Structure 1
Amino acid sequence: MEVQVPRNPKPSKIMGRLILIAVLVVVSCSREVVGSRGHHGWRSFDYSAISCRPFTATLTDFGGVGDGVALNTKAFRLAVNFLSRFGPVGGAMLYVPPGKWLTGSFNLTSHFTLFLDQDAVILGSQDENDYPVIKPLPSYGRGRDNEGGRFISLIFGTNLTDVVITGNNGTLDGQGSPWWDKYRNRTLNHTRPYLIEIMYSKHIQISNITLLNSPNWNVHPVYSSDIIIEWITILAPTRSANTDGINPDSCTNIRIQDCYIVSGDDCIAVKSGWDEYGIAFGMPTKQVVIRRVTCISPTSAIIALGSEMSGGIEDVRAEDILAIDTESAVRIKTGVGRGGYVKDIYVRRVTMKTMKYVFWMTGNYGSHPDDKYDPNALPVIKNINYRDMVAENARMAARLEGILGDTFTGICISNVTIGLAQDAKKVPWKCTDISGVTSGVVPQPCDLLPDQGPKKVSCYFPTETLPIENVEVQTCAFRQKLHMV
């Protein structure tokens, strides 16, 4: 299926040749089917995407073998490379059919859709050699697991526009168990790969797929904008190492909704760089909408802000959240040397069942990339709003610890009822170096958050919508002619 395109042809010739390629592909596939014996049928379905594609190919067209044993890295790379030629005429979709498709890392391209059939499983190779080592992120200065580089993600892309990863609940299985063991045993020389990482990109959609057993974080958009992540299921053992669900990092305009996450770490972690590297890079994460998310994570948070937040985090809106057996609700993680800020955070309508802490802010998170951080770089934490929340079986209502000489300000908590567990702490609120108000909160808050009365305060939640909320997906049609014996 390789088609040679001359170097540097004129734009009009490029378009003509791309259209010719498309026609040749369609005719070639049609001839193959027509020339075969048997009954002909169609596989067809509709799916939702930010962009529909006029052209489609199947992984088997490029030599893919879905037996769970053969390595398909070459097939994925050939497919993406070939389909990248259709970008100027609307792009193309790569259909991953039923089967188990073992692969190492492969890159995506612009104006491209990766679609996983409901019975398709992409299996991440467990061989380190199938993941090239790339440079650390500039806003981190080093890998998170180790100094130096990091293994590239299983599915990776950089400097892309208009990319969709979707399916009818097909599966991406990172087979992470050996990676977790190597991490715990300190036998890795580089940071473990993520399942999906998209860098320096815009107009990204990740939806309607299941992610299993990631070696590290599951979904990591970084230095990107206009991102929709919805209707995905993320599953990992609750004691697996750092299997965060969704981590937008130095990104703008993000919509995360209708997701189910079981994780060994934070279900969603909003980040923006680490200490002096994040401060120098200076790219905040902002305009984030999180809604209708269910989280199970006994050792971590539903939503974490930080700990890498040195580029700043602002305007995060979370609502209609369910937490089951989760360490904390929204946790702010920062410390001396981080710099940056976390501000304008709005959370409402959260239901929590079995929690260690309902509210948790940590000003003593001491993890640093190296010893070059500035001890005078103090974070600014302000305008944090929580309202309309119910918790049951909580061991502690709140642990709110600011930084001496760097008070966390503007904390507002209203209309919150917390049912304490039988083994709850005798003092349900612990507060240091914070300031704010409460209204209609049970049990009685600490003195640093004076109660204004049940009707005097309703913590603010914005009424205007963010741009990403107004982005609508299209209904796209997939049709594939089949040969049925």
Structure 2
Amino acid sequence: MALNRRSAISTNLLAILLMLGSTNVSIVECRRHVLDGSDVTYAAINCRKHTAFLTDFGGNGDGQTSNTEVFRAAVLNLSQFENDGGSQLIVPPGRWLTGSFNLTSHFTLFIQFGAVVLASQDEGDYPLIKPLPSYGSGRDGPGGRFSSLIGGSHLTDVVITGDNGTIDGQGSIWWKKFHKKKLKNTRPYLIEPMYSNQIQISNLTLINSPSWFVHPVYSSDIIIQDLTILAPVDSPNTDGINPDSCKNIKIQDVFVVSGDDCVAVKSGWDEYGIKFGMPTEQAIIRRLTCISPDSAVIALGSEMSGGIKNIRAEDIRAINSESAVRIKTGPGRGAYVTDIFVDKMTLHTMKYVFWTTGAYGQHPDPGYDPKALPKVDRINYRNVVAEDVKMAGNMGGIEGDPFTGFCLSNVTIGLSEKPKKLQWNCTDVSGVSSNVTPEPCDALVDKGSIECEYPSDPVPIDTVQLKTCSFSTKKQILTSSLVHHLGYFSQTLWLVATFDAMLKP
């Protein structure tokens, strides 16, 4: 409570002081004299009229000085330009230690090459927030959630990008606490836009998240592309990208090494997700490469109680992963997983190629309805080549609630040196197959020469054309008005730090 109170008071104090200061001069409106350097260009859903650098706000990139209030104040100041062409905050080369901060609308956070946004390992830098309404409980424990490192709610037109800059979640301390069961609240996610639309996350390296890396939730019109996502393969719950109760999503050209699912499509948990009722739909996952020895390349669920439908995946590659596409659900989940289309998977060293689980048993609390059974139907896989596989298919539905409408065509699975004796385990499932090796189970009826469906029309997000945006990296000589403003800003930060210290127990 004390931490939340201090954070709220500090934020309010900053807002008041910056509001008073902005009557005189605006940081990004100040003219600058340039001496040398070059322009950086990048692709984004929208370009911005106003530009500022984190150093303009007193940021220190030594990797030890906290920039939490600097990031928060920078975004707050730049939010005044939401309706005046938007703004972009440039994070220059350096190691910028920070706790949680939120973004604003019509805004770009650009992390330059050589810049590392370094996540604080202090729990106090992540204010506690309530569990997601479609989950009803934290994922790590019964309490709330630590705020994500970079977040924001009810935003429009937000870009988080760079020229391969890095966001380092420094997750090891959180993983240790999780393994020792010392957490009552859910670990921070790295990036989490909520209730937002027109989101772009691109051209970055993300490493060592405390838990899930990228978690758009209750959002729409999302482009996630050109990311490298890295975590130790034994790190807990470090899912790569988890669109959750979202619509119109593109995930493409992403490389993930993870301790959990590389991409997990979700939509809420048991009775809370059923009540919230927001599906994830109209998504395409393209040119994903995954390494995850203990988890799926693409998971559908297990939290899918708002429904999952109209999901496409194409040109998928995996090395040393547990399964290719895994459907995870169980009694209590309700809702549906339907209209799933997969085309062209190349897999090497897998435990399973096809894995469907109707007995996934994790629940938020005992209040779930075991009679709330999910509907799984119209699941299409075609053009799959796999090598060094232990088992072709482990496919289980739910007794009395069979999973139907599977279609497998043009599938060639090469087995490992010591494969399982039983290559297909099919229980409470039904469907058809064509040109599948090794020969599938009787529940997947051989239909001769057919091709499973894959839609030819584009998903809506594929029609979005990115613009070419830019900013100057030239050495800055600040005008006298800007120097005056930064002097005021330094005083603001000093007041906030002093006020915050006074509140500490």
TM-score range, shorter chain: over 0.9
Instruction: Classify 1:264/1:4 alpha carbon distance in 2 versus 1 (closer, same or farther; 3 Å).
Output: closer
Match of 2:457 among 427, 451, 464: 464
TM-score w.r.t. the length of structure 1 is 0.93
1:27 aligns with 2:30: yes
Instruction: Classify 1:5/1:174 alpha carbon distance in 2 versus 1 (closer, same or farther; 3 Å).
Output: closer
1:52 aligns with 2:47: yes
Equivalent-residue separation in structure 1 for 2:81 and 2:423 (angstroms): 60
Q: What's 2:125 paired with?
A: 130
| CA offsets 1:386-432 (integer angstroms, 9 cap, x no match) | 00000000000000000000010000000000001111111100000
Q: What's 1:148 paired with?
A: 143
Equivalent-residue separation in structure 2 for 1:405 and 1:171 (angstroms): 49
8 Å contact kept, 2:304–2:333: yes
Match of 2:109 among 107, 114, 125: 114
For structure 1, which segment, 473-482 or 304-313, has the greater mean C-alpha deviation from structure 2 after superposition?
473-482
TM-score w.r.t. the length of structure 2 is 0.89
**SS at 1:60's partner residue?**
helix
Q: Return the offset for 1:21.
A: 5.3
Q: What's 1:36 paired with?
A: none
Moved over 4 A (4+): 1-7
Match of 2:316 among 315, 321, 326: 321
Q: Return the offset for 1:481.
A: 3.1
Match of 2:334 among 311, 322, 339: 339
Report % sequence identity.
63
| CA offsets 1:43-74 (integer angstroms, 9 cap, x no match) | 31110000101110000111100000000001
Higher relative contact order (CA 8 A, sep 6+): 2
Q: What's 1:442 paired with?
A: 437
8 Å contact kept, 1:320–1:348: yes
Aligned residue identity for 2:120 = S
1:411 aligns with 2:406: yes
Q: Return the offset for 1:477.
A: 1.6
Q: Return the offset for 1:451.
A: 1.2
Q: What's 1:11 paired with?
A: none
Instruction: Classify 1:437/1:81 alpha carbon distance in 2 versus 1 (closer, same or farther; 3 Å).
Output: same
How many residue pairs get aligned? The number is 463
Q: What's 1:304 paired with?
A: 299
8 Å contact kept, 1:145–1:191: yes
What is the RMSD computed on CA atoms of the aligned residues?
A: 1.7
8 Å contact kept, 1:43–1:482: no
1:208 aligns with 2:208: no
8 Å contact kept, 1:274–1:308: yes
Equivalent-residue separation in structure 2 for 1:233 and 1:402 (angstroms): 34
Equivalent-residue separation in structure 2 for 1:25 and 1:353 (angstroms): 51
**SS at 1:27's partner residue?**
coil
- More strand, by proportion: 1
Q: What's 2:166 paired with?
A: 171
**SS at 1:292's partner residue?**
strand
Q: What's 2:378 paired with?
A: 383
Equivalent-residue separation in structure 1 for 2:128 and 2:429 (angstroms): 43
Match of 1:259 among 254, 260, 266: 254
Aligned residue identity for 1:83 = L
1:183 aligns with 2:186: no
Aligned residue identity for 1:463 = S
**SS at 1:364's partner residue?**
coil
Equivalent-residue separation in structure 1 for 2:447 and 2:31 (angstroms): 73
8 Å contact kept, 2:119–2:168: yes
Equivalent-residue separation in structure 2 for 1:27 and 1:360 (angstroms): 58
Gap runs ≥5 in structure 1: 8-16, 34-39
Equivalent-residue separation in structure 2 for 1:482 and 1:268 (angstroms): 41
Q: What's 1:394 paired with?
A: 389
| CA offsets 1:62-117 (integer angstroms, 9 cap, x no match) | 11000000000011011000000011011100000000000000000000000001
